[in-house]
Structure 1
């Protein structure tokens, strides 16, 4: 429920009161004596669903920007006339709580902080996220998401598009672009300092060491977070859900990938940086497309019947831009997804083939310890480099012909360039108890 207070301009009192009477609204009128061009102040409770239609009708009757309208949340209204009005707007008995277009604009604007605060909070978030990724600390990365004020700009841009508010749209898109750029630049600086300070693990791929791989080689499942965040963001705005939780979702789709761009740039990994950048752009497009579509499906339109058509065109235009851009950039993600499926299938097939070969009598005493598919590290779209099979046995040295045999069986599931590497773990028991000590020696053989 809402409680409205309308300051009526001179010459419009009768018009406003006639509309309220026709709508069956129980109102109170006070004369305005300030001498500032107002005739009266009208106050009344109204169902949430009725706010937007009523304000649109007043607009069409000539009660425009010169009138002052205040909308306040109302806890309880005890009135038989109000109950009748609420039932009329309940649409089949379900009392709705859809936020009016006018309130929606205000809420989206309020969620967008002043630029100075926005920039400072994003700088802090970038530093925390970069440190968390470098330190391999999920808890720290989550902390960076919590403090990132990205919800407001994402929603403001699309509320501005659908309702025809150019200022809100421009602010939203500007904040989004500046925000992502700020995180990337700050992450480059911090990661470069970390590398100069000698924090780079010697001989270790920084992407694997800090679990950045899912962000530099993203797959199609990465879209789920961004699309869900966009839809949930609009629902939080229109249905009164917790904006804080949804803000973390949006930050999860943008802050860690942006920090990953900075880290990989500082480490000179151009391919990985491209993969992370693609994920950032795809997530931005997904959030905006989901938010825009949700708003349009929810029925939000510009004020007045004659403004729907002009705003429908830019809405479709932005939706097309978001959609086409998403389809183009999703192609690499589809490639990574197919690679993930292929890698999983190859690993499963290799495990079955190794078990089948070692079950033969000539290989008694040999056991499969591990089967792993290794990629070539050529981000963002990698390829299978080799299959590593680890075998344990009691005899020192490799088993003659086993590597070739395994290559023959496993190679049938890959292409002609597949490399199969066999590593031998030689076990030596001391004593007869269950906790026998094992001495490990590594032998390798390969077939290609």
Structure 2
């Protein structure tokens, strides 16, 4: 269940209440007249089955509540009520398959904004991966993958394309491009500094690295793995199973490829620069393609489920 908390201008209260009461899957409607002071209005709350939330959100936004009041949605971890059980049973579709598009847009927008923290995480991850390459340590490579925050902008691009928000796509693309370029520059400077102190060296970089050579030797497998990771990543976001994102992060070779490209550029190993760049491009493209297709399929399946449920439901009295 989800709980909606609304600040409603007094002239919209009746319309909002009617919308909620007519929504199958909504229950526990409460109203406190004049309780809101900023903005001035009435305070309303209701519990909504996850599968009924997106249409209700669209209706509330259609009434202008987003501009004139407040729409806040929180997850209800436990709800002991027969009416809650009835609401979830009566709501069309299955809550596990429901996608809250406004929630997805807000989540990916937060995760795809180019901030100092985002740049710091991506730079640290890339430097960790550089150390993993130099030491030929798969453990450090996996750790760097887990630290990298790049899936947020990738999910933002997919979501923005599906819901047709150009600003979200542009912001996410900017975070990816600027983020990786900045991280590679920082990693190049980091490698030069460690070379100066004798911790890195050209001979160390040029010696065989059997455990990490896959980073700059992309194959068709790289694209397939990126496709699978993109599917899993988007499903983890739409179903609120965020724990799966760790597995997604350590499945793709984005951060390690950027790190190896920075190292190879520092030591003028042009064949590894090209190989790493190709590996990075394959992984990014695979995730975006898979994520976009997954969201489109989810949208299509959800509309079919709702249409089937509406067709089989008894007519309103």
Normalised TM-score (structure 1): 0.60
Identify which of 55, 69, 72 aligns with 1:70: 72
Aligned equivalent of 1:59: 61
* Contact kept in structure 2, 1:236 and 1:246, CA below 8 Å: no
* Contact kept in structure 1, 2:7 and 2:39, CA below 8 Å: no
Shift of 1:56: 1.3
For residues 223 and 115 of structure 2, the distance between their equivalents in structure 1, rounded to whole angstroms, comes to: 28
**Greater helix share, structure number:** 2
For residues 3 and 34 of structure 1, the distance between their equivalents in structure 2, rounded to whole angstroms, comes to: 18
Aligned equivalent of 1:85: 87
Shift of 1:194: 5.5
Deviates more, 1:13-22 or 1:59-68: 59-68
Aligned residues: 295
For residues 36 and 212 of structure 1, the distance between their equivalents in structure 2, rounded to whole angstroms, comes to: 57
For residues 201 and 185 of structure 1, the distance between their equivalents in structure 2, rounded to whole angstroms, comes to: 21
TM-aligned CA distance change 1:16 to 1:257, over 3 Å: same
String of CA shifts for 1:331-377, please: whole Å, max 9, x gaps: xxxxxxxxxxxxxxxxxxxxxxxxxxxxxxxxxxxxxxxxxxxxxxx
For residues 91 and 96 of structure 2, the distance between their equivalents in structure 1, rounded to whole angstroms, comes to: 8
Aligned equivalent of 1:45: 47
For residues 31 and 90 of structure 1, the distance between their equivalents in structure 2, rounded to whole angstroms, comes to: 31
* Contact kept in structure 2, 1:5 and 1:71, CA below 8 Å: yes
Matches for 1:329-340 after TM superposition, within 5 Å: none
For residues 126 and 63 of structure 1, the distance between their equivalents in structure 2, rounded to whole angstroms, comes to: 43
Point out 4+ residue stretches in structure 1 off by more than 6 angstroms: none
TM-aligned CA distance change 1:239 to 1:14, over 3 Å: same
Q: Could you say which structure has the greater relative contact order, defined with CA pairs below 8 angstroms and 6 or more residues apart?
A: 2
String of CA shifts for 1:185-212, please: whole Å, max 9, x gaps: 233334445566473338xx82634655
Aligned equivalent of 2:303: none
Matches for 1:225-236 after TM superposition, within 5 Å: 225-236=225-236
* Contact kept in structure 2, 1:8 and 1:41, CA below 8 Å: yes
String of CA shifts for 1:26-83, please: whole Å, max 9, x gaps: 3111112555564422111110111101111233345442231110111233333333
Aligned equivalent of 1:138: 138
TM-aligned CA distance change 1:243 to 1:68, over 3 Å: farther
Matches for 1:228-267 after TM superposition, within 5 Å: 228-241=228-241, 242=243, 244-246=245-247, 248-249=249-250, 252-267=252-267
* Contact kept in structure 1, 2:4 and 2:74, CA below 8 Å: yes
* Contact kept in structure 1, 2:119 and 2:183, CA below 8 Å: no
Unaligned segments of structure 1, at least 5 residues:
301-448
Unaligned segments of structure 2, at least 5 residues:
301-317
